[in-house]
Amino acid sequence: MHLLLSLPALLGIRWLFITATTAVAMGAYAAVLLTAAPMPPTQPPPPAVATGHH
């Protein structure tokens, strides 16, 4: 497993591996954002009720 993880550095393609991994992560995040259901409209919080205690 360690050899597999160090393979990009040994081959001198570390920057390419980082760029590709980042692109895949950004693509997955964009897909989630585009396919997610819209957020429901937010409701304002109810006003605080004064209890008379300080």
Please state, in angstroms and rounded to a whole number, the distance separating the CA atoms of residues 54 and 52. 6
Q: Is residue 13 one of the residues assigned to a domain?
A: yes
Q: Render pLDDT for 3-40 as a digit per residue (tens, 0 to 9).
A: 777 887 888 888 888 899 999 999 999 999 999 877 77
Q: Is pLDDT above 70 for 50?
A: no
Q: Is pLDDT above 70 for 53?
A: no
DSSP the chain: -HHHHHHHHHHT-HHHHHHHHHHHHHHHHHHHHHHSPPPPPPPPPPPPPP-S--
The total number of structural domains that make up the chain: 1
The domain containing residue 28 runs over which residues? Answer: 2-34
User: Within a 10 A sphere around the Cβ of 42, how many other Cβ atoms?
Assistant: 6
Q: Is residue 16 one of the residues assigned to a domain?
A: yes
Instruction: State the residue for tokens 């001198």.
Output: 12
- Taking the model in full, what pTM does it have? 0.51
Find the angle CA(45)-CA(37)-CA(33) to the nearest 5 degrees.
105
